[in-house]
Structure 1
């Protein structure tokens, strides 16, 4: 791998360009040129093929601007922060954990700000720009804030992830899937994080593309029927124990990882496998991939288990490109609490069950005279409340308070508790969520890096056929009447058939082959004067440079077989 040479060719040939270049640029943004946009779209379509077509998930699309209430409930308003420090001399700001890691060579992401301050002091860490003194570290919220509406009285944020748009649609999605768990919903699109000091190109962007799947399932059953198909697949796992003991990664089967409790459940192991399968198919080999489990100190507060898929790079070391987490019921429970809407699923039992339960009723002889016309709504409120909570409040405070348009105090003499038997056919549960979250821009970078090949003869991108930004080049041997018309006709017909085709008549055929190889076109078709006589063309393979003659009327079938 060669980051510097790859990025130079990417910029020269139209894959990745700096944004706002004629205005001196802004860090944390990037433009995808013609070939970069095509590569990125192909990767996204490949992702859709795996998760929408292959797994039977459905895709939704929601707004990229969200009201504050949504992100308050999700925890982003209060907790979506990075540690920040500022140079007291030049005024430059930095992400504190990053500049510390550059100096001491250790991961400090999970440490508290006070601990980071002490490391700065102990290691005499100074401003990377001017050598000045750094300020105490504080938390900086990464969301882009905006105002919704002309009056400016409603606060909004650019969404920091696509996942929340799925969670807040849960009631409608649950009905769409007819209440049957498990089901999966995906969203691909832009997300925004106002990074403190992004200095890593497409690895750390302020505007980026995510592809996320939210898999809703019964917390008592996180199995998947597809696990048996991948149980013997060998996974390379950097578990918590491996990292803590600084030992070699585990090379174990999916079944062993589950049986030994290294990965929490079948669905999570299956998602690890799917992530690796996807990356392999777009050209990232296993020997530059690893699965790393989050350490206890870095595990998100909502996560029951979380693994990163990381790729090896020569410039940035190991880089996270996918996160796969068991988020439990955190998101649905939190949105249910903040919205006062039930976000649950009714699970029907195989056979009805008889259960004993305590119910609370109003003592009507006293209830009506006290609450008068408000009695019906107070009665409904207590019947919908948790009986144990009512009992606990009366035991602790001597009263239970119902908050509606105003507060209503209920003492024990106003309530009757009764033990009853009831036949129930099922129960309401809050589903758990397993989430594979793909950073598409980082994956594009990884594909570019690991598809880039250097040989004595040429430097070129060896893209997997499924993601190559251009599928075939069409070249008349010379730009003259005869071969040129046939080449144009072939180009038009292949484009009508849905192939991405480049037509090029500039320079010698050798230079055109070299340009095609450099940008990763897998196949080149050359039309020569013999084509006028035998109705055949020459197909050249990018990697082997082998050539073969095939009939013009067989080109479409040949390409369809190659790209199948």
Structure 2
């Protein structure tokens, strides 16, 4: 973002560092009056597209989450960034950012810490704060979650959520009931996330508290895909992994169906949400000439994801991630099923009952109890889960051992080994009560797969401001203007009296009050000459201005001014409440007036 726009953001109340009266803390921002309205409008546009129009449900879960949730999700073990600390000044930095800022390497975050430390040493990279050499300093993993305590005293450990997604996963057993166990269905959430960033930077791009808008879309892995005809004409600017590996910036422009047929995008739902995302970004004002979808490289693709694309925007020569669209398979629900005391499946009814073979166990608790004590019940549960997953593990027959030997595998014994909380337990096969029976089933339980479009709201706001900030010349003067789409502009219309005398002010106040009553966002301004008032509204992106003048007192018409063209027309006061919504909604062009 240019310095002019940063200054505008502070001066006009879009966003500024929080708690500046106390020195402030990096990574925390307050949205001022204009920014809060812009952010709210961006969120409402997201909700309209991904909740209302898609027929999904929305929830609002707590931001403080107990520790077991993040044990199950893997955040406690793997939600890390690479940290390097300067021995001279003591400042901590993102090691991968230091590498990317000072070398030609673009994806240092995908490298192991040892390799990043070697790159820092090989390139003699220095501390960004004081210039001291960083060579030889250890590069370590740093967990980004803010921890807290729930309850008095030592209480229960908890964390501020780093994403909204886990709230939707943990509540799945109840949410599936609201969806009548009919796949697919989507659950959305807009809310705050917290990450203890090592080195926050670029204003709203990398903050420690931020707003996310996430959709978890639960699908049957064997079910029907989306209706791609609904997005048939959407042109996707794709930057595939193979193009990145070739060090090129050659994008391919494909429709969702073409991207699937050519194997560029894996998964119909991923292709569908890429298209819906592009439509939404264009709708809120992201410049499509500076926008792309970049596919995750093999080294950065999460182990549970089958495909992931980042929506990125170009700002000041660099690319900023705005959204990730990931196919998360059944990882999340399966992990919570392992740790929680609830069911994370959906019952899928068959058209007709089926007779199938079902592996079961009936453990001999008179053996398990004395042998394993308090862990006996957990061992029994683990045996049951193993029978469902891998019945061959219970086959300790001589024929099987012979087959194992012939294939070069270690022969199996007449025993089964299961793992409970990291510890292995061995049980004689005969004590497991293992059997395979024919049963007639009316359906089966399915672990849904998840497709996740996850948006950073602050980053979208930042991009919309950057892409719509312009400077032009009006009447011989340089004008700063935000050409925001009317739908997301903080204010719809500014109302001014030509001057505050002869009853013009009172009439303008009445016009403003009537427009507010009609549900429009209105600002009133009678300070300074009319040209200055226009410039103030241009700077904050107000698409239209209404001026009450002496002619208004005679015929009850006003001057309506368009922000982008600066053209003006006369409109009846009584028509304003209808004309303005038709303009902001795109049903009518200003030229039509």
Using the size of structure 2 for normalisation, the TM-score is 0.88
Aligned: 1:241 with 2:242:
yes
Aligned: 1:22 with 2:39:
no
Equivalent runs, 1:425-504 vs 2, <5 Å: 425-457=442-474, 458-504=479-525
Q: For the residues of structure 1 that align with 2:358 and 2:124, how far apart are their CA atoms?
A: 64
> Are the counterparts in 1 of residues 231 and 276 from structure 2 also a CA contact under 8 Å?
no
Change (3 A) 1:367 1:68: closer
Q: For the residues of structure 1 that align with 2:491 and 2:242, how far apart are their CA atoms?
A: 45
Q: For the residues of structure 1 that align with 2:302 and 2:10, how far apart are their CA atoms?
A: 37
Stretches of structure 2 that go unaligned for 5 or more consecutive residues are: 397-411, 586-593
Matched with 2:406 is none
Aligned: 1:115 with 2:115:
yes
> Are the counterparts in 2 of residues 356 and 419 from structure 1 also a CA contact under 8 Å?
yes
> Are the counterparts in 1 of residues 359 and 391 from structure 2 also a CA contact under 8 Å?
no
Deviation at 1:561, TM superposition (A): 1.1
Q: For the residues of structure 1 that align with 2:489 and 2:368, how far apart are their CA atoms?
A: 75
> Are the counterparts in 2 of residues 378 and 402 from structure 1 also a CA contact under 8 Å?
no
Deviation at 1:145, TM superposition (A): 0.9
Matched with 1:75 is 74
> Are the counterparts in 2 of residues 97 and 116 from structure 1 also a CA contact under 8 Å?
yes
Q: CA RMSD in A?
A: 2.7
1:27-86 deviation line (CA, Å, top 9, x unaligned): 111111110111000100111111111111111001101111101111111100000001
- Paired residue secondary structure (1:109): helix
Q: For the residues of structure 1 that align with 2:213 and 2:2, how far apart are their CA atoms?
A: 25
Q: For the residues of structure 2 that align with 1:382 and 1:199, how far apart are their CA atoms?
A: 47
Matched with 1:531 is 552
> Are the counterparts in 2 of residues 127 and 133 from structure 1 also a CA contact under 8 Å?
yes
Change (3 A) 1:151 1:369: closer
Deviation at 1:453, TM superposition (A): 1.1
- Paired residue secondary structure (1:290): strand
Matched with 1:128 is 128
- Paired residue secondary structure (1:455): strand
With 38-47 and 408-417 compared, the bigger mean Cα shift is at: 408-417
> Are the counterparts in 2 of residues 67 and 155 from structure 1 also a CA contact under 8 Å?
yes
Matched with 1:330 is 331
Give 2:159's match in structure 1, choosing from 136, 152, 157.
Answer: 157
Matched with 1:312 is 314
Give 1:298's match in structure 2, choosing from 297, 300, 304.
Answer: 300
Matched with 1:230 is 231
Q: For the residues of structure 2 that align with 1:408 and 1:137, how far apart are their CA atoms?
A: 38
> Are the counterparts in 2 of residues 362 and 379 from structure 1 also a CA contact under 8 Å?
no
1:181-226 deviation line (CA, Å, top 9, x unaligned): 000000101000000011221111000000000000011236112x
Matched with 1:553 is 574
Matched with 1:343 is 344
Q: For the residues of structure 2 that align with 1:385 and 1:299, how far apart are their CA atoms?
A: 29
> Are the counterparts in 2 of residues 394 and 411 from structure 1 also a CA contact under 8 Å?
no
Query: How many residue pairs were aligned?
Result: 555
> Are the counterparts in 2 of residues 482 and 529 from structure 1 also a CA contact under 8 Å?
no
Deviation at 1:399, TM superposition (A): 4.3
Change (3 A) 1:155 1:510: same
Change (3 A) 1:262 1:476: same
> Are the counterparts in 1 of residues 186 and 215 from structure 2 also a CA contact under 8 Å?
yes
Deviation at 1:515, TM superposition (A): 1.2
Change (3 A) 1:106 1:361: closer
With 20-29 and 435-444 compared, the bigger mean Cα shift is at: 20-29
Q: For the residues of structure 1 that align with 2:364 and 2:489, how far apart are their CA atoms?
A: 74
Deviation at 1:256, TM superposition (A): 1.3
> Are the counterparts in 1 of residues 231 and 272 from structure 2 also a CA contact under 8 Å?
yes
Matched with 1:256 is 258
Change (3 A) 1:29 1:359: closer
Q: For the residues of structure 2 that align with 1:209 and 1:133, how far apart are their CA atoms?
A: 36
Q: For the residues of structure 2 that align with 1:109 and 1:49, how far apart are their CA atoms?
A: 34
Q: For the residues of structure 2 that align with 1:97 and 1:410, how far apart are their CA atoms?
A: 47
Q: For the residues of structure 2 that align with 1:369 and 1:440, how far apart are their CA atoms?
A: 54
Stretches of structure 1 that go unaligned for 5 or more consecutive residues are: none
Equivalent runs, 1:55-204 vs 2, <5 Å: 55-107=54-106, 108-134=108-134, 135-204=137-206
Matched with 2:407 is none
